[in-house]
Amino acid sequence: MASQKFSLQESQKIIDFLSNYTPCDVSDALVKYGVKNGGYFPNLVQRSPTETNRKTVVGLAYTVLYAPLDDPRPAVKTNYIDSVSKNSIVTIALDKSLQVPTAPFTKCNNALYGGLMSTRAKYLKANGSVIFGRIRDINEHLNLNYPVFSYGLGSTAPKPVVKVVEIQKNLDILVSNYPDDTVQTINSNDIIIADQNGVVCLPANDEVLLNKVLNYIPKRVEADELVAEDIKNGVAAGVAQKARRGAIKLDDN
């Protein structure tokens, strides 16, 4: 598992660092090192934004997979939410049989996640939840000031139609794309960075890429702040971007 890649102390350091930036900043760095989609998992919406909750959410993916009741795999016996650890992002997806590449992105009209799950997740010091499906109990997440992202909304518990079949395994997400639909994967303990713009996954199992990204982000953000300043002083965007981004010095080149 990716968690073996870094210690609890290391992951805390990475989380604290990335909390100062945005998913867009992480995507800019991933693009710089050849990841064309910038790690973006499209179509997720922040469902519980509050005054103090609009900032970046960062944590390690604690992955949970739901499948239809007729799936041959047996249901996991324990309640997944009770095994969440500190700094997790509870990350829940549906089996591919329940995914569609167009909205509402799911064939499951029952909500996968609700207020009691956020209550428990918060108690266990998780940092947020990302649900590739529907969620319910909006007011409860708001009152907990706990960030929840989802494809859609619902009112009904999942039990009558789906069951948890895997915990802490990879999640495959079907995404509309050009020229063909693609599948994007989240590995257990990948780093999730999310805000109002949506959700980015920074793979944790490629240590070289991870270090490059963490190194590049502050330099790029600083350069783009100078671009914004230049533009406000009347410099053409094309000129300012070329000059300021071109001046970034990479340790890894």
Known binding-site residues for Mg(2+) equal 137
Structure tokens at 21: 């930036």
76 vs 186: CA distance, rounded Å: 20
Least separation in angstroms between CB 218 and its own copies: 17
Least separation in angstroms between CB 129 and its own copies: 13
**Number of chain positions touching its own copies (CB under 8 A):** 73
Region near its own copies per CB under 8 A, out of 6-14, 164-172, 176-184, 204-212:
176-184
118 vs 144: CA distance, rounded Å: 8
Q: Which is nearer to its own copies, 206 or 230 (CB)?
A: 230
114 vs 101: CA distance, rounded Å: 24
Any idea what DSSP says for residue 9? H
185 binds its own copies (CB under 8 A): no
- Contact indicator for 43, 203 with CB cutoff of 8 Å: no
Q: List binding-site positions.
A: 114-117, 136-137
SS (H, E, C) 145-190: CCCEEEEEECCCCCCCCEEEEEECCCEEEEECCCCCCEEEEECCCC
203 binds its own copies (CB under 8 A): no
Q: Which is nearer to its own copies, 237 or 247 (CB)?
A: 237
Pairing of strands 57-68, 162-167: antiparallel
Among residues 52, 72, 208, 232, the one that binds its own copies under rule CB under 8 A: 232
Least separation in angstroms between CB 249 and its own copies: 21
Q: 196 to each of 35, 76, 150, 239, how far by Cα in Å?
A: 21, 32, 12, 29
Burial zone of 231 (CB within 10 Å; 0-12 exposed, 13-18 middle, 19+ buried):
middle
Residues 10-39, interacting with its own copies (CB under 8 A) = 22-24, 26-28, 30-31, 36-39
Q: 221 to each of 20, 26, 53, 250, how far by Cα in Å?
A: 11, 10, 22, 14
Residues 59-88, interacting with its own copies (CB under 8 A) = 68, 78-79, 81-82
Least separation in angstroms between CB 11 and its own copies: 21
Least separation in angstroms between CB 253 and its own copies: 19
Q: Which is nearer to its own copies, 24 or 167 (CB)?
A: 24
Residues 99-158, interacting with its own copies (CB under 8 A) = 100, 102-104, 106-111, 114-117, 119-120, 123, 134, 136-139, 152-157
Q: Name the nearest CA neighbour of 59 among 191, 211, 164, 214.
A: 191
Interface characters, 209-228, with its own copies (x: CB under 8 A): ---------------x--xx
Region near its own copies per CB under 8 A, out of 3-11, 163-171, 193-201, 205-213:
193-201
Coil, strand, or helix at residue 60?
A: strand
